[in-house]
């Protein structure tokens, strides 16, 4: 998760942009902060999906193979670190 101070700064820069008072340096800062925010958000969503098991109404595991492979890769990496 992105630090609260960075999120607050993103919001502050957004308000300045709406007011038309955003400088070129602040525009660069805003772009960098947004990229960092998007990267963090995607990572959180990816982690959530990789830790989710999908069950159909019959109680069968229907988790997509791609997610199962990612779990296996993550487990192998974790075992290698131990």
- Give residue 32's Cα distance to chain centre: 15
At 74, the pLDDT band (50, 70, 90 cuts) reads: confident
How many folded domains does the chain comprise?
1
How far is it, in rounded angstroms, from Cα 15 to Cα 64? 41
pLDDT over 90, % of the chain:
79
φ, ψ of residue 55 to 5 degrees: the values are: -120, 130
- Give residue 14's Cα distance to chain centre: 20
Q: What is the CATH number of the domain that holds 56?
A: 1.10.287.540
- Give residue 64's Cα distance to chain centre: 20
Give the range of the structural domain holding residue 31, as residue numbers without chain letter. Answer: 4-80
pLDDT tens digits along 6-46? 999 999 999 999 999 999 999 999 999 999 999 999 999 99
> What are the residues whose beta carbons fall under 8 Å from the beta carbon of 54, sequence distance 6 or more?
61, 62, 63, 64
């Amino acid at each position: 998760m992105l630090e609260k101070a960075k999120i607050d700064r993103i919001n502050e820069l957004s308000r300045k942009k709406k007011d038309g008072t955003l400088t070129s340096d602040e525009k660069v800062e805003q772009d960098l902060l947004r990229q960092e925010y998007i990267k963090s958000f995607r990572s959180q969503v990816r982690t959530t999906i990789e830790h989710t098991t999908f069950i159909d109404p019959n109680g069968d595991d229907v988790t997509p193979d791609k997610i199962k492979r990612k779990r296996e890769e993550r487990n192998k990496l974790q075992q290698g670190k131990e």
